[in-house]
Amino acid sequence: MARFVPPADDFLMINALAELIEVNEAGDFQERFPRSVVIGGDGSREMLTYDFQQQPPSLVLLDVSAQDWSSAIQQATSFSALLEQFPETGWKWDDSEPSPS
């Protein structure tokens, strides 16, 4: 899935299952972000990533050039929460924003 989601009008991309292994093995991503699984992104530099360092894992946004988890911006507590809130909120770009999920 890859499309603009109204009314927030932000672009949301969810990778196809066949792409997940390739995306997650690219570069040194697993070295920089251990216990992560990229599932999509904003169609550009930001990757929607499960953070399995915590239980339950949450979804964060990471720039492809980020060096470690300190750059992660919390998006939602679950995939279903992300899909519920995304049409209204779009991406959260500031980690100081409270998560509505």
Each residue's pLDDT tens digit, 25-84: 887 888 999 999 999 999 999 999 999 998 999 999 999 999 999 999 999 999 999 999
pLDDT (average), residues 12-21: 93
Alpha-carbon distance 36 to 60, whole Å? 10
pLDDT of residue 100: 43
Superfamily of domain 2-85: SMI1/KNR4-like (3.40.1580.10)
- Picking from 19, 27, 21, 16, the residue whose alpha carbon sits closest to that of residue 62 is 27
Radius of gyration of the chain measured on its C-alpha atoms: 13
Domain map (residue ranges) of the chain: 2-85
pLDDT higher than threshold 50 for residue 99: no
pLDDT (average), residues 7-34: 91
pLDDT higher than threshold 50 for residue 101: no
Tell which phi-psi region holds residue 57, choosing left (phi > 0), alpha (psi between -120 and 50) or beta: beta
pLDDT of residue 95: 62
pLDDT of residue 25: 87
